[in-house]
Structure 1
């Protein structure tokens, strides 16, 4: 009988795989081979939707058919290896494969398995792919190739939970019974990334709970204990895996395996060089393993002292304090045991003098002091030289310890002189860069739109929007170059057109088609028209206040305006395109554009013109610009002149508000709990209600509900928000504050929410409650990249403040925003922005809203970069409110405060005198806890 495609495809799409196999079993071999060509051609020609519209995924049935008609392993492998086929290997029924192999007397089934196994990759490891290959290999009696892809796929299959007779099959049993254990397990240890596949945890039937650690280490140890695996082989393989390195999480199973193997002194001695190489640079858990191993070897008297002394200096500078403390303990034990080498040992200990932690510096100095009577003058002089790296109150102690004669050579017979207060230590930030040259040709426009799709930043949006309008105005043929860009519009774009807050959807779905004269569906066209019309009468009462709808989605509104106005005559040019990348627009440039509009007889589009006014600098323009504006006669020209006379848009009133967790249950999504008890945000109220701009009130009106809301998912990039109001950063900060706060007060918020902060530092305007809270939240963000962004902003603001007029060190009071990087207290005097940030930081940390440890890490980086005076201002304002709750990280903040105080000359200042009161109460507490020790150290420095 001949095989017909329609019959076969019907069985395939209905999931009737026995019937598929039956067609080929009943056919002759000639008929099978004849159908092979058609099967290949049909599968390659199938459209994309054919793979998901069937009742059953067709790849399974086609795989059975391939075994039934392909003439060779190579052609079967080529067909089965297609991406849309291999995704379903796991579902291919084994019994049908074996039935067809017997019916055809296939000799190449094992060869097919080898070919498919050779193509298993490490990029997308799937247990299902290995199982299919394993079926073919076993059927053909062939041993699998030892490749990374095979080893990882085999491991993934073993780590897939398996049940037998209603019970979980332990991983040790699966490994023991696997025929490829001895062949592939060693390859697993040699393969990078294998630890990522070892996340399976055993289910404890008796305790009815999942184990806390991965099953792999225990399974390997069990097989070693029963003699199934060779211990020496896997001790070597484990140490070698740790030396090779990998991502920290992926090394954890091997670190656990090392701990469970508990190598003996003999086994450690065989790998001394490996452990020595791991200790200085390996990830913290692996370095700790190496340290313990070398300590065991040292305790057994089998570690050469020169080896220990050589490896110790870099260890003493590691950021992990536990490693440094442990290494100091090892060195002290050696110092007692090796009196003849005391000088070399103590000089090694002195490497810790350069550690950033004052606590560790003090430990090293104390250790040296215990043995100082046993060292000769030459060693003392070298130790005195090394002590130049000490900070806080430690230089004075070192001077006492080494004696005046030894200290004289170092130049610090007395503690280092303190820098005078206010000494500039940071360079002024560079002025904002000018905008790139405008787009000149349709081809360039097409290229920039493609770039915009991948990177929707504010500068790129402005260039593309300006280029579209100017080229359309010049009569350029845009349809030809924009056609290929518009052609791929998918159903997803059409779906998202209902979201008028998504700039890209509006741009591709509305603006581009309107630009080239394409017909728009009536509903979409009306949506664009309505958006533009509503922008002219929307009021604070009707304004949505959700923070993710920031700045009235001004960008999407401008795109909608372009969609509606693109066919108007005479065709204007855009006047809101900024002159600088921070969104600022020079008044002289806007004057030129309006003069050209009057000369050519056109008026700017309303929303575009309003955006242009909002981008003008706050400073009074030159007399020439003022006179030129007064000479304009058009409606927009007269409005421009009046805007300059009035000084632009007044700053809104910022009000600090607290959100608290709801006390009652709410149905639906609004009732979703994410464990957030408190969040502090800022509401905005207009300073006036009679402004000339229709979009003004929505931009400066923001209210928040009484409880924290769901996480936000903004669709517009941070710089789009900042560029809308480049001279009102307090308003921008208020709109973006919810997103910034999420980065610090939620457990797993992702990253990127603090990208707004450096932009806020670069634009102009007052520093009020929203800016202060944004900085406090940003410094304590969970993601390292967000904390880096916060530190960048902090340094920019600190440099601006350093070079501004001197300000008094006053405590912050009720926040009413004012221009500059300082903000007024209740009496109207300006205080450093750091004082405001410190007060907010203390408030948020004291209640556990954010983590102090993260903020200390950020401030430490800022201090190292030269912003010591501002770090001191933050710490001095924060500490009094933190002593009572004493959150985790407070000793580290005290230590950082000591460093910053010394660097900026804070002792004797008014802020220092105020701090000494509450600080003294902590310093006189009994005991020697680190909190008390650091409080005493700071008190000593401030009283100097």
Structure 2
């Protein structure tokens, strides 16, 4: 530590602060601590009132410049000079300081605290614990600060989520004081274990923090090693922890539910405890609740526990039947098959209650999988001779749920007539979605604009942007400069980082909006960066000579149009103001009514103002494809340049659909790949080019799309701003977004398929881009994306748009080549079928199956099984050659069995 002699220590607080500031600026944390140790307590307290000034002098990116964050040294100074806990906390929670708690040097802090011994340290420790961030407590080093304060003061922490998470993170780290310490020892030695461990069972999501597998270098594989669970069990064996508390806590956590990943630790703990039959029997009702309702691993655990209780002769039949009623409809076939086998055995053991047991088995007639239905029907047939007439009549009622070829088999077995295939399903008519909603009323005041700005920052939407941009132009035209200044200035100050270009904010549309607002209220403009100046120059060039060179910082996709529009407002609003934007849509989809645009252009000619170039172009490409003849004739009377262009646009039929061309991308050889690329071997995307010259500045931004030979990683950063730029040309938007949508299926991307329902609500023909987009999303890795694809599929079907055959062809192409996983597609298609769109589901399947049958893709039997359910509901008849070949094979493979089933259904 840097030596500090008594003679070298200044006496005035300002001089002491200046000495501390210099060491802080140099990143000399040792010197800061040495000086704090060398001065007296009175000197420390005298310095404290000036520390706030030093903290306030650091702004923006400066907090994180240099080798160490400033908050580390400043936090040490704040705690080392504060007179009370509240005053120390006031500085620690200032903006900039709050994010740097993890950078405070703890060894130096302990030295300073040992020298000061402040009586309020326990109060400060509690306050810091109460302000911990649940995420930063684990990964940002915040818990280490809190732990230091707690240990130095001898205080116990409050039991909060952030505290438990921080303690959990410290327990899972294998390092302590430079040596590896077993987790069981860390738990045994921690002063917080008894206090915080119960919170581990009570707070959602904490199970994610403990790995249950480790890499075995010798075996070169992952092996099950739930160290936390094993450590808890070891401490219970020592008597350090209560075994009953651990078992009750694990089961209670599973009952209350959580994400499957977060429950792995609790299932591992349950298994590590190895409950005895007596312990399992005491929780039989809990397991009976988990079996139908728990996640798949939890339900498997519960099923195994109940089987053990039953084998011990301690399970009541009522409990088993109640649990079975729910589990027999679960999607996990292994669970259902195990339950059916169990019920079959119990039926043989308890003939006096055979009717109840077989009636429970018949619940599986309603399972979506035909092989489960078939297994249940086989069990029923086995016990049928011992059932009375009433039991058989009840089974016949349940048998109406059977699908595929099973209704005929059930009718022969039960002595009933074969029901017509799903007549109710055939009668279902999908209801078209309502017309798109109109854009909300315009923002009427500066105060309302400030509220909408705040909302836009935290939740960016196309509707929000349109309302804000329209209000900025309209309120400026109305002369509300003073009101704008009063309302907007606090927003610009509070969210300066959003409206100023910096390394953390690459979204130039917000930067230009900030520049526009500052100009309107006579505030100092932000930094003039090269990117911003290039964009300004591009917009001015467009205004002056009708060209739009590449604008730096503008996204190369349809959302980039918004950036150009905001830049145009920033450049033109004070130079050539207009009272209204032409492109503000009339509907939330981005669509603009031609009558409304005509009215705006007539106003421009009456009031003698010139519409802006990019604003005009955005308005034109937002027009509907069908314009009333009266609007076309009235537009012909316009005399201004913008009006005449509008009239010519209408006469020409608007924006012609560009040409969509499929492009097959291939991953290069391994030696040529980027080091990070782990994507697909093959990806199909779409290139675009205009069908004819459009004369649009935005033509290259919207209609020119080339694709490279190799696939690339694409973030799922797609939103409604893409759709609203071209609301009547959804194929164009789909083409731009297709690499991202493909990544949902062939990489680990998640989230982005929400774009598809928006495209389904938009207008325009469906081409290869949208059909491949739907195919990729139906086979997406994550369920939320597959659900979005189902919603889009049903919306398009309800609107009568022809598209399903194209999706089937795309799906067959991708799945046959291994890009799509067939098993992921089966669930979404089943959902579409059950929603009443059986005919259009068959339209897809009858195209996809001939492409898949020749190569026997994995999970193809599941798809054939689904087809056997869909075909009767769709009224489909007649086979096709590829199916005939597979159905004609000998053997008992599931592929052959399901092909024979579908063949039988189609030829009944």
| Alignment TM class, shorter chain as reference | 0.7 to 0.9
Q: 2:620 maps to what in 1?
A: 613
Distance 1:43 1:315, change over 3 A: same
Provide the rounded CA distance (Å) in 2 between the counterparts of 1:354 and 1:621.
52
Question: Would the aligned equivalents of 1:684 and 1:703 in 2 still touch at CA under 8 Å?
Answer: yes
Measured in 2, the distance between the counterparts of 1:306 and 1:229 equals 35
Indicate the residue corresponding to 1:797 in structure 2: 796
TM-score, scaled to structure 1 = 0.83
Paired with 1:372 and 1:152, the residues of 2 have a C-alpha distance of: 57
Q: Is structure 2 residue 705 aligned with structure 1 residue 706?
A: no
What is the rounded CA distance, in whole Å, between the counterparts of 1:241 and 1:896 in structure 2? 36
Residue in 1 that maps onto 2:896: 932
Describe the SS at the equivalent of 1:549: coil
Aligned position for 1:307: 319
For residues 631-684 of structure 1, the C-alpha deviation after alignment (integer angstroms, 9 at most, x for no partner) is 3333333333333332223222211111111237559xx664233211111112
> What CA distance in whole angstroms lies between the structure 2 residues aligned with 1:361 and 1:532?
69
**Pairing partner for 2:174 from 117, 141, 161:** 161
Distance in 1 (CA, whole Å) between partners of 2:495 and 2:142 is 34
Please identify, of 146-155 and 775-784, the stretch whose mean Cα deviation from structure 2 is larger.
146-155
Contact 1:500–1:506 (Cα < 8 Å) also in 2: no
Give, in whole Å, the separation in 2 of the partners of 1:343 and 1:422. Answer: 34
Q: Does 1:688 align with 2:700?
A: no
Does the 8 A contact of 2:688 with 2:704 survive in 1? yes
How many angstroms apart in 1 are the aligned matches of 2:612 and 2:682?
A: 43
- Residue 807 of structure 1 is matched in structure 2 by none
Distance 1:89 1:131 in 2: 7
- Is 1:759 the counterpart of 2:758? The answer is yes
Partner of 1:483: 489
In structure 2, distance between residues paired with 1:484 and 1:778: 43
The offset of 1:874, in angstroms, is 0.8
1:32 paired residue among 41, 46, 56: 41
Offset from partner CA, 1:536-586 (integer Å, 9 cap, x none): 98999x889999612382222222333333245684633332222222222
Map of 2:182 onto structure 1? 170
For residues 596-646 of structure 1, what are the alpha-carbon distances to aligned partners after superposition, in whole Å with 9 as ceiling and x for unaligned? 333333343233223322222222523x22332233333333333333332
Match of 1:451 among 441, 451, 455: 455
Counterparts of 1:306 and 1:373, CA distance in 2: 24
Structure 1 residue runs of 5 or longer lacking an equivalent are: 405-412, 802-820, 823-832, 908-912
Q: Is the partner of 1:647 in helix, strand or coil?
A: coil
How far apart, CA to CA, are the structure 2 residues paired with 1:115 and 1:442?
39
Structure 1 residue matching 2:665: 3-state secondary structure: strand
CA distance in structure 2 between the aligned counterparts of 1:86 and 1:589, rounded to whole angstroms: 49
Indicate the residue corresponding to 2:291 in structure 1.
Answer: 279
Aligned to 2:882: 918
Secondary structure of the 2:343 match is: helix
Q: CA deviation at 1:527?
A: 3.2
Asked whether 1:848 is paired with 2:818, we answer: yes
Q: Return the offset for 1:364.
A: 1.1
Structure 2: gaps spanning 5 or more residues: 1-5
Contact 1:572 1:605 in 2 (8 A): no
1:742 aligns with 2:743: yes
Give the one of 571, 577, 583 matched to 1:576. Answer: 583
8 Å contact kept, 2:128–2:146: yes
Indicate whether 1:549 and 2:556 are aligned. yes
Superposed CA deviations along residues 457-483 of structure 1, whole A, max 9, x for unmatched, are: 222322222333233333332444443
1:291 alignment partner, one of 303, 319, 328? 303
- Residues in 2 aligned to 1:369 and 1:286: alpha-carbon distance in whole angstroms: 32
Q: Could you say if the C-alpha distance between residues 532 and 357 of structure 1 is closer, same or farther in structure 2, counting changes exceeding 3 Å? A: farther
1:918 Cα deviation from its structure 2 partner = 1.6
Taking the aligned partners of 1:70 and 1:695, their CA distance within structure 2 comes to 59
The DSSP-based 3-state class of the residue aligned with 1:449 is helix
1:512 aligns with 517
Q: 2:231 aligns with which of 216, 219, 241?
A: 219
The CA distance in 1 between the partners of 2:809 and 2:507, in whole Å, is: 35
Whether contact under 8 Å (2:137, 2:162) holds in the other structure is yes
Is the 8 Å Cα contact of residues 546 and 704 (structure 1) preserved in structure 2?
no
Q: Structure 1 stretch 863-872 or stretch 220-229: which is displaced more?
A: 220-229
Correspondence for 1:369:
381
Choose which of 658, 661, 665 in structure 1 pairs with 2:664: 658
After superposing the two structures, state which structure 1 stretch, 472-481 or 762-771, moved more: 472-481
The structure 1 residue matched to 2:269, chosen from 257, 263, 267, is: 257
Residues 20 and 936 (structure 1), Cα distance of their counterparts in 2 relative to 1, 3 Å cut: same
Structure 1 pair 78–455 and aligned structure 2 pair: CA distance change class (3 A)? closer
Contact 2:201 2:250 in 1 (8 A): yes
What do residues 373-414 of structure 1 show as CA deviations (whole Å, max 9, x unaligned)?
Answer: 11111111111112222222222121111113xxxxxxxx22
Q: How does 1:780-929 map to 2 (within 5 A)?
A: 780-801=779-800, 821-822=801-802, 833-907=803-877, 913=878, 915-929=879-893
Name whichever of 530-539 and 892-901 sits farther off.
530-539
Please report how far the alpha carbon of residue 525 of structure 1 lies from its aligned counterpart in structure 2 after TM superposition.
5.3
* Residues 654, 923 of structure 1: alpha-carbon distance in 2 compared, 3 angstrom cutoff: same
CA distance in 1, matches of 2:902, 2:731: 34
| Contact 1:552/1:698 (8 A) holds in 2 | no
Work out whether residues 117 and 145 of structure 1, in 8 Å CA contact, stay in contact via their aligned partners in 2.
yes
Distance 1:277 1:565, change over 3 A: same
Deviation readout 1:31-60 (Å, 9 max, x if unpaired): 525743643663586326296568766766
1:535–1:340 Cα change, 3 Å: farther
TM-superposition CA deviations, 1:280-302 (whole Å, max 9, x none): 21222111111100001111222
- Distance change >3 Å, CA 120–CA 779, structure 1 → 2: closer
2:661 aligned counterpart, secondary structure: strand
User: Is the 2:425–2:873 contact (alpha carbons within 8 Å) kept by the matching residues of 1?
Assistant: no
1:841-882 CA-to-partner distances (Å, cap 9, x unmatched) read 111112121222222222222222221111111111111111
| Partners of 1:294 and 1:303 within 8 A in 2 | yes
1:326 and 2:338 aligned: yes
**In the TM superposition, what whole-angstrom CA distance separates every residue of 1:862-915 from its partner, at most 9, and x where no partner exists?**
2222211111111111111112333333222222222222222122xxxxx3x4
Candidates 190, 210, 222, aligned match of 1:198: 210
Q: What is the aligned counterpart of 2:348 among 316, 329, 336?
A: 336
What is the alpha-carbon distance in structure 2 between the residues aligned to residue 105 and residue 487 of structure 1? 40
- Offset of 1:800 from its aligned partner? 1.9
SS class of match (1:767): coil
CA contact under 8 A between 1:547 and 1:736: conserved in structure 2? no
Distance 2:355 2:206 in 1: 46
Question: What residue number does 1:438 align with?
Answer: 442
Give the Å deviation of 1:707: 1.1
Give the whole-Å Cα distance in 2 for the aligned partners of 1:99 and 1:599. Answer: 76
Offset of residue 943 of structure 1: 1.0
Moved more, 512-521 or 255-264: 512-521
Farther-moved stretch of structure 1 (236-245 vs 786-795): 236-245
Structure 1 residue aligned with 2:537:
529
> Deviation at 1:322?
1.9
Residue 630 in structure 1 maps to residue 641 in structure 2 = no
- 1:722 is aligned to 2:686: no
Change (3 A) 1:97 1:627: closer
Q: Which of 559, 562, 568 does residue 566 from structure 2 map onto?
A: 559
8 Å Cα contact 1:12/1:60 also seen in 2 = no
- TM-score, normalization: structure 2? 0.86
- The aligned residue for residue 46 of structure 1 is 55
